[in-house]
Chain A
Amino acid sequence: MGLRIRLSRQTIEILQMLLLRPGHWQHGYAISKATGIASGTLYPILMRLEKLGWLETSWEDARVPGRPPRHQYRLSPSGREWAKQELRAARETKFGKVAAREAHG
């Protein structure tokens, strides 16, 4: 699936948010409000996902006259598959660590 991307906590939250409504376009501000991630962190992640081919982008004409068009995002089909795999693996690792901690008391 091309280059790896480091799955930070913020990346996982963004992927989870985008997977909630996979075919639906999301704006950057909406993603930021939903995940609590600031623009300075959000956009570099979106840019990397787009570069890897897992994020689709498009421009939406402004709904309010006088405002510029807005950029919107959704996971590509391959991106959705990848995201599901990565999130599953992340949960297993997380649950594995939690289980190990519980086993050792």
Chain B
Amino acid sequence: MSETNPSLVLRWARWQMRVLARVWPEESRDWGEAIASEAEEIAQPAEALGWALGGVTVYLRALGAHFWEWLKMPVGQRGEAARLAGAPGPKRSRLFAVVVLTCSAGLLCLPEGREAIRTVRATWENYAEVDPSQEESELAAQGQKENDAQLMAFAALSLEDEKRALELADSAVNLNPQLFWIYQAKSSWPDNSAGVQDWLAKARSTDPKNAGPYLRAADVVAHKILSGLVRQHSPTETETTQAVTGSAEWRTLMDQAFRAPTYNSYYREHEELSRELWRRRPQLLLAMVLPSLWQHAIPNMLSMKQYTKLLVREAEDERAAGHLARAQELLSEATAFGKRVEADTMRNGRFEGLGLSLERESALGWQGFYEATGDTAKAHDEAEQVAQPDRRGAADVREAIRLWQQRSRMEGSAWAVEISALLIVAAVLVAGLGIALFEIWPAIGKRSTATRQVLSYVTDFAPAAVLLASAAFVLSFLPYAGAMAAFRGGSGGRSDVLQLSTAFWSLDGAARSLAGPSTEVLGWTLLTVVLSVAAALILARMAYRGMRKTAPQA
């Protein structure tokens, strides 16, 4: 190839060096032009290509050195000339801002940090009443796509669209028949909604020996009766009791429930489903896991009590008529049902005392029966049974006080979590704005030294504020992370769920208190927080300078 007709490789090598020389960092551009000019002297294409590649490595090193020098300069400074111009500006280097902000990001990317962000976001969405149906629909679609029976079951229990929820439930149960209990667990409000009968029919057909579906069906009947009464006038307690217990349909269903060999509310199964799903999918929002547990359908306790009292009254009537065997049969039915309910509440760790209160009603009946038949010893035993719920009630009150105290302690942390979350957002905005302003417009505030000084000060310290707020955020969230880990890794029981609920609702309460009744109040709150922090920093700096000036000279 001659110089008059250089090869493509030669031309490309020389062109590459010319382009590099134009974009070379200013500090060492001479050297880039030097390498480029030498390339013009090389005749051999392979040699020219090697020379150009060498030039590229020198360029990359120069770029790295230039970038490093740029990082070491204060924010907004573009070169040595700018520094010598003498205008006050930020003193902290870009490197400081990058390192500090990277450390903050590192903290927030820790598992506890990510969980904290997800949870706090959920409390803010709760405040804003963000409709969760979009997320629920996505979960449902994902469950169907992956043929994940557990996910479909979870989505079916959460979705408000009952038709879609029933389809999902059917798919889940077809895949995993052990999930049949979700037909009973689905909460429907109001109880006379169109879909509830479909759910109850499936619950009865898949679990015929359980009292639960019959109790729920009886609640639907009671709801219909009470709705009708309320539309006419404000009924008294006696009127409502008579109206419900007088319904043949209600009595038939309650009779079937009380005679059913088992009673299982399946709350424990629901809890285990949520726990297992949350273990498999930690990104699932706490704001979806908790409501799914609290929305678990439970039979109306009042209905159970009313029917137990009905059985006891009928037993009294039978005893008075001399039909002692029949009276005992009715009382035994009530007692057995109470025991089944108590066993269920003990198993699930929920509504403890419900079974005992039912047993108390039947124990009152037995006490009356034995007193009337002259069996004082057994009457005395039954009187002991009557007193037992009161003792258990005292234990429940103590437990409630313990949980209330725990919540009070967590509320302190809740405030710290929510406030530091707000501070992170505010400090990131301020840091970003300050850095962007000085980088894009280095002469900002030159006409007003005070303005420039304040902006410089804020830009210098905002990244550090982000780091401090991030550390405070993660540290103050640790008790909540512990509550969530305890639930995920736990073996079930009331304390895990209650601790988790206490954790979430304390955070939710703090968010609502901070945000106030409207977004305008929230905006003013944020502004107040930012200005207070800025004022505190400025006062601290002035005090520090004052101390240095008044310190005795050496």
Instruction: Out of B28, B33, B35, B61, name the residue touching A39 (CB < 8 Å).
Output: B35
Given contacts A29-B38, A44-B61, A68 and B54 within 8 Å (CB-CB): no
Task: Assess whether B58 is in contact with A71, with CB atoms less than 8 Å apart.
Answer: no
Task: Assess whether B37 is in contact with A40, with CB atoms less than 8 Å apart.
Answer: no
Task: Assess whether B58 is in contact with A29, with CB atoms less than 8 Å apart.
Answer: no
In the assembled complex, B42 has its CB within 8 A of some CB on chain A: yes
Question: A26–B25 Cα gap in the complex (Å)?
Answer: 25
Query: Which residues of the other chain, B, contact A43 by a CB distance below 8 angstroms?
Result: 31, 34-35, 54-55, 58
Question: A42–B38 Cα gap in the complex (Å)?
Answer: 13
Question: A43–B40 Cα gap in the complex (Å)?
Answer: 16
Question: A32–B34 Cα gap in the complex (Å)?
Answer: 13
Task: Assess whether B54 is in contact with A71, with CB atoms less than 8 Å apart.
Answer: no
In the assembled complex, A27 has its CB within 8 A of some CB on chain B: yes
Given contacts A29-B42, A39-B38, A68 and B58 within 8 Å (CB-CB): no
Query: Which residues of the other chain, B, contact A32 by a CB distance below 8 angstroms?
Result: 51
Task: Assess whether A40 is in contact with B53, with CB atoms less than 8 Å apart.
Answer: yes
In the assembled complex, B234 has its CB within 8 A of some CB on chain A: no
Query: Which residues of the other chain, B, contact A27 by a CB distance below 8 angstroms?
Result: 38, 41
Q: Considering the complex, give the chain A residue whose CB is closest to the CB of B57.
A: A40
Question: A10–B342 Cα gap in the complex (Å)?
Answer: 89
Question: A29–B35 Cα gap in the complex (Å)?
Answer: 9
Question: A96–B37 Cα gap in the complex (Å)?
Answer: 42
Those of A68-93 within 8 Å (CB) of chain B: 68-71
Task: Assess whether B58 is in contact with A70, with CB atoms less than 8 Å apart.
Answer: no
In the assembled complex, B396 has its CB within 8 A of some CB on chain A: no
Contact-residue bracket for chain B: 20 to 34
Query: Which residues of the other chain, B, contact A40 by a CB distance below 8 angstroms?
Result: 53-58
B522 to chain A, nearest CB (A): 56
Question: A22–B126 Cα gap in the complex (Å)?
Answer: 80
Task: Assess whether A39 is in contact with B55, with CB atoms less than 8 Å apart.
Answer: yes
In the assembled complex, A38 has its CB within 8 A of some CB on chain B: yes
In the assembled complex, B50 has its CB within 8 A of some CB on chain A: yes
Question: A57–B36 Cα gap in the complex (Å)?
Answer: 16
A75 to chain B, nearest CB (A): 17
Given contacts A40-B57, A41-B54, A29 and B31 within 8 Å (CB-CB): no
Give A residues with C-beta under 8 Å from B.
27-29, 32, 38-44, 46-47, 57, 62, 67-71
Given contacts A40-B55, A43-B58, A71-B34, 8 further A-B contacts (CB under 8 A): A27-B41, A28-B34, A32-B51, A39-B55, A42-B54, A43-B35, A68-B33, A70-B34
**13 A-B residue pairs with CB within 8 Å:** A28-B35, A28-B38, A38-B50, A38-B51, A38-B54, A39-B35, A39-B51, A39-B58, A40-B55, A43-B58, A46-B31, A62-B37, A67-B37
